[in-house]
Amino acid sequence: MTLTRTAERPQGDAQPQTPGTIVQLWQKLTRAATTNLAIFPTIAAIVLCLALLIFGEVAYGRIFQFSTLSNLLINNAHLIILAVALTFVIITGGIDLSVGAIVALSSVAGVMLAKAGWPPLVVIVVMIGIGSLLGLVSGILIRYFNVQPFIATLAMMFLGRGLASLLSTEPERVPDSATALTWLNTQWKVIDGPKVNDLVITPGVVIALLIVAVAWFVLHRTRTGRTVYAIGGSAPSAKLMGLPVERITLLVYVISGTLAGVAALVYTARLGTAQNITGIGWELDAIAAAVIGGTLLTGGFGYVLGSVVGALVLGLMTVLITRDGGIRPEMTTIITGGILLAFVLLQRLVTRSKE
């Protein structure tokens, strides 16, 4: 009887690797990029975020601190939520211009109901429900009346902004009796650092992180998420495969409106006031965050975590401009437009390379 000896694996391959290192994360991203060119914008967003952090530390100092991270998360929790909402919509090949107006309407209505003596928990439900309702109307217009997403959500934007102005044109302050709202701005010390360098979060930040986690699971681990990507790739093909295109498209806009209502809740709790002019331009910031994070405007591809990185990039720009002191605040819009243009061109190059 002849014995056959199994070839031994080289010793270097058998060595265990330590998970979670930055080098291994970068290796995974580069390996994914070689097989999928569409991931390049996401990698570029991560590189840009790291570059801004390093530049801020070298130029101004005290960037790599717990306090900076705390302020970045607390001040941009609402933008992270809106970026997640727009990620769902843009992946399907659509757009939602109503999220900023939904924030204004939900915020003003919620504070006025709280001042009228409504129970705080009921106020919270109403604020989120307003967003869900407007998102539902947008979804119905798009799927069952064949209205273009741009036109449908633009109509909801004007409707929401008009209703907010009809309710009040003056700043409305959150009353002390609205304990559930004020609790969302409670600061929790996670790490007690030296002097004021503490890692602090709020319930609003926790809500934003939970939404990111749930959105990631839905998009990447459920049939609903696979259908969202399929619709963005080709809605007619998805329909021929028997996927529930109409139902999922409607659901996506309901999700977007609902998350806009949650963003209104988080922002109102942090600021303590509500105005009809709140949220002007936020839909463009959310779209910019999603696009910077690698979500293709043509649909069919995008990452929730990439959109979070995009939101943090926009937040970091504001921090650095504030630290500088000599740059006018209006430059934030110009810089955002320049970065967005660069990433749109990068997406176009990637799309042409794939073609």
Structure confidence by residue, pLDDT tens digits, 134-144: 999 999 999 88
156 found inside a domain: yes
Where residue 283 falls (left for φ over 0; alpha for ψ -120 to 50; beta otherwise) is alpha
Phi–psi pair at 277, nearest 5 degrees: -95, 0
Residue 317, domain member (yes or no): no
pLDDT value, residue 77: 96
**Which pLDDT value is given to residue 355?**
59
Least confident of 6-20, 199-213, 234-248: 6-20
Tell me the residue range of the domain where 186 lies.
Answer: 63-280+297-302
The verdict on residue 99 lying in a domain is yes
What is the reported pTM?
0.88
Interval 260-300: pLDDT, tens: 999 999 999 999 999 999 999 999 999 999 999 989 888 88
Domain for residue 349, yes or no?
no
Give the residue-averaged pLDDT of 63-79: 91
Number of domains in the chain: 1
pLDDT at 18 over 70: no
Asked if residue 11 is part of any domain, the answer here is no
CA distances from 141 to 75, 95, 205, 265, 298 (A): 34, 13, 33, 26, 21
**pLDDT of the residue at 28:** 60
Average predicted confidence (pLDDT) for the chain: 87
Does the pLDDT value for residue 1 go beyond 60? no
The answer to whether residue 329 sits within a structural domain is: no
Q: Which residue has the higher pLDDT, 29 or 126?
A: 126
Tell me, yes or no, whether 43 lies in a domain: no
Listed range (86-95, 118-127, 342-351) with the worst mean pLDDT: 342-351
155 has pLDDT over 80: yes
Q: Which residues contact 306 (CB under 8 A, 6 or more apart)?
A: 41, 42, 45, 290, 293, 294, 295
Taking residues 103-124, what's their average pLDDT? 95
Q: Which long-range contacts link 23-30 to residues 24+ away (Cβ below 8 Å)? A: none
The answer as to whether 198 is a domain residue is yes
In the predicted model, is pLDDT for residue 342 greater than 60?
yes
pLDDT > 70 in the chain, percent = 88
Reported residue count of the chain is 355
Residue 248's pLDDT band, with cuts at 50, 70 and 90, is very high
